[in-house]
């Protein structure tokens, strides 16, 4: 099975170039075999890509923009789908590939049935619940950090006060000794 990434090598859009670069870079970094197919220089590639992107995945103007990802003839998705799969750590499922041995893929991702476009059945509901839990735990973490920061601030202020008091007392003692020394020196001069 070969992953096909349709790109436009002479795209004038910086956004498209960055998206293409991210997909290709990720696949290279993870040693996933793929074939980069240029739609700018090859009319057959462009025609094939446009005909094989499912209707519901095409933008309103009907012309899908690169990068578009396929596993042989099966459509996997566009950049947004790829990015979501990467963030959710289900990239192998998205690409229709078996995860490599020793990879950290959860059983629920492996067992979930995959649709032809790379989406996972039941994924929408699960990801919404996960997002809510993440947001809640994020708030809890932020509150804990604020409380810790407040505690650390109080401790640091207390230490600074102690240091200042100690320094002040030491400074006062030095001044008194200096004054006594001066007074003693003055008395000796008078004699």
pLDDT digits 0-9 by tens, 29-48: 999 999 999 999 999 999 99
Instruction: Give CA torsion, residues 50, 56, 58, 62, to 10 deg.
Output: 90
CA distance 187 to 191: 7
CA distance 29 to 88: 18
> How close are the terminal C-alpha atoms of the chain, in Å?
109
Out of 3-12, 18-27, 94-103, 120-129, pick the least confident: 120-129
pLDDT band at 21; cut points 50, 70, 90: very high
Higher-pLDDT residue of 106, 100: 100
* Close Cβ partners of 127 (under 8 Å, ≥ 6 residues apart): 88
Residue 116 in contact with residue 75, Cβ under 8 Å? yes
Q: What is the pLDDT of residue 177?
A: 56
Q: Which structure tokens are listed for 162? A: 């102690």
* Close Cβ partners of 20 (under 8 Å, ≥ 6 residues apart): 5, 7, 8, 11, 66, 67
- Reduce the DSSP state of residue 76 to 3 states and report it: strand
CA distance 85 to 22: 13
Average model confidence (pLDDT) across the chain? 74
| pLDDT tens readout for residues 127-166 | 444 444 444 444 455 454 555 554 554 454 554 545 444 4
Alpha helices (H) in the chain, listed in sequence order: 14-29, 43-52, 79-87, 91-95, 107-111, 123-190
Element (DSSP H or E) covering residue 71: strand 68-71
Out of 29-38, 67-76, 98-107, 175-184, pick the least confident: 175-184
Distances (CA, A) of 92 to 7, 83, 120, 138: 20, 12, 11, 28
Element (DSSP H or E) covering residue 74: strand 74-78
């Amino acid at each position: 099975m070969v992953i096909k990434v349709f790109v436009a090598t002479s795209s004038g859009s910086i956004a498209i170039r960055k998206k293409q670069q991210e997909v290709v870079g990720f696949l290279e970094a993870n040693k996933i075999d793929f074939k980069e197919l240029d739609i700018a220089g090859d009319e057959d590639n462009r025609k094939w890509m446009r005909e094989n992107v499912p209707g519901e995945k095409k933008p309103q103007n009907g012309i899908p923009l690169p990068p578009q990802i396929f596993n042989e003839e099966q459509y996997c998705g566009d950049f947004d789908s790829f990015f979501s799969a990467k963030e959710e750590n289900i990239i192998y499922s998205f690409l229709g590939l078996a995860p490599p041995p020793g990879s950290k893929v959860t059983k629920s991702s492996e067992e979930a049935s995959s649709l032809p476009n790379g989406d996972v059945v039941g994924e929408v509901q699960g990801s919404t619940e996960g997002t809510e839990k993440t947001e809640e735990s994020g708030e809890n973490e932020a509150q804990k950090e604020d409380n810790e920061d407040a505690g650390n601030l109080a401790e640091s202020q207390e230490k600074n006060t102690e240091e200042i008091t100690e320094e002040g007392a030491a400074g006062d003692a030095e001044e008194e000794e200096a004054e006594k020394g001066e007074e003693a020196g003055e008395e000796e001069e008078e004699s």
